[in-house]
Structure 1
Amino acid sequence: MEHSKTLGDFNRYSELKYGYETELIRILYYELPENYYEKYASYEYPKLCTILEGRKEVKINETEHFEYDSQEIILLPPQSSVEMRIKEHTKALVFELSDQLMERLRNVVEEEFQVPESSPTHAVVRCELNEKANSLTASMERIKQYMAHPAERKNFLIDLGAQEMAYHLLQMQVLEQNLLTNHRHPVFRAIRDIQEQLPGIRHVKDLADNYNMSHANFTNQFKKITGLTP
């Protein structure tokens, strides 16, 4: 990527000077040396943090403390405080998504999932880069490729990728939020039941019967929301 720098601090000037910005997204690239320590804030935009090489130890909002590497992504809500320790040389790529874009697409995702309108979540979202995240991973890779396009069409393509990325992130957020709070929707009830009762479930039809749904209708709704079959 063309904008690289080992940051001596995380002030906003440095971030924007050594990043790439369009109307809908900011793309920030960091090279962080071993034994590096910093405290910073996520500012006004949701911040998707990915690691290209190495790993980070982070403490977020004085409550969540964990390590992650290139096999996991982190979505920070706006105005998060982060304490970060780097034990080995680490390369990181961060995507800041417009809050207006996220709010606009949130309505689309909630209508698609047929869930009640909710306020934006302020929880940290962690996601392993596995089959469930294939769509999100693909959109991130496309944005990286768009960075190499000629200037006259680069911004247009990157903004298309940003909308796709935001859509998949919101799917993850709405799914996580409703798993905790939605006790009526059959798919969210089913996911909880699968997690709690998996050894006792003999067939998907048994689940569908629990929610007074046909096997086909239940399977279609489950795949529409999660991207996976039951």
Structure 2
Amino acid sequence: MATDLSPTSTLEAEHIRILYYEFERQLKTNYSSKNYIRFCSILEGSKFVSINKEKKFHYDQNSFIILSPFSEVELEINEKTKAFVMEIDDYFIRQIISKLQVELEEEEIKYIENEFFIAHFNPDLCEVHKKIVNIFNQNRLNKEFLLDLYSRELVYNILKYKGSEKIINNKKSKISAIIEFIESNYLGDLKISDIANYFGMREYEFSRYFKKFTGKSPKEYIKDLKLKKAKELLAFQNVTEVSFDVGYENISYFIKEFREKYGITPKEYKKII
């Protein structure tokens, strides 16, 4: 059997990353979900999966799986299969949870463990999932914006499933504690050495550990948090105020990093929001 798990195509918006797979032959492999909630669905065919050494499951177009960060997955495919995976930013999910109250669906989750669940699509979740797949497949303006918009609706509908918040808001392992610490302190004078010391690690050891799980260096991760926050603040503050509020003492450097990240300057961004 093949063991390669490279996506056929990908697309990254501000809060989500989509990975689309086409498997033309049998495959047996394993992977880790790393520092993301994963929404896993099938567009054609089916899969067998075993998550964190639990029993093997079979699922197809009628079901979906939610994986917590750092889940270990054993995957087996025995037929032509098309898979659609969404990696959803944990900070984005926590924002939604903090603002919403939802009525729970009567339908129970098909199977639930501490780090994942598998359930059948209900009509509302099925509809928004189809919207996201269609937008992904289209060449249109504002594609990334629309994907982030419908991702909010997706998370909202997932939260209606009983027990779902326990999974998608699950905190586990040292890396989750590190990320929570960074997200609570990144607007201050946060040094990488200070974070490493707080968690009892040497700086080089901490940086390697952090990148192993997140795919980013601590410096890159903090920069991305600051620039995301800057986009929020630009809705009601001027560029100079935002620059200082997110921790940039040099406004020119802030403008440079913002443009490198988003392709436009903060001033240009203010004009379109």
TM-score where L is the length of structure 2: 0.52
**Superposed counterparts of 1:1-230, under 5 Å:** 9-10=4-5, 14-15=6-7, 18-109=9-100, 111-112=101-102, 122-129=114-121, 133-148=122-137, 150-172=139-161, 174=163
C-alpha distance 176-27 of structure 1, shift in aligned 2 (>3 A): closer
Structure 2 unaligned residues grouped into runs of 5+: 105-112, 167-273
Rounded to whole Å, the distance in 1 between the matches of 2:149 and 2:165 is: 25
CA distance in 2, matches of 1:59, 1:143: 26
* Matched positions, count: 158
What's 1:210 paired with?
none
Structure 1's unaligned 5+ residue stretches are: 1-6, 115-120, 178-230
The Cα of 1:76 is off from its aligned counterpart by: 0.9
Q: Which amino acid aligns with 1:81?
A: E
CA distance in 1, matches of 2:137, 2:9: 16
Equivalent pair of 1:97/1:166 in contact (CA under 8 Å): no
Q: What fraction of aligned residue pairs are identical, expressed as a percent? A: 32
Retained in 2: the 8 A contact 1:33–1:86?
Answer: no
TM-score normalised by L of structure 1 = 0.61
Q: 1:127 to 1:112 in 2, by over 3 A?
A: closer
**Structure of higher RCO (CA pairs closer than 8 Å, 6+ residues apart):** 1
Cα distance per residue 1:120-171 (max 9 Å; x no partner): x943121112xxx111111111112223555541111111011111111122
Match of 1:84, SS?
strand
Counterparts of 1:107 and 1:144, CA distance in 2: 27
**Cα displacement (A) at 1:73:** 0.8
Alpha carbons of 1:149 and 1:31: their partners in 2 closer, same or farther (altered >3 Å)? closer
Deviations 1:3-35 (A, max 9, x none): xxxx9633xxx45x8310100111111012332
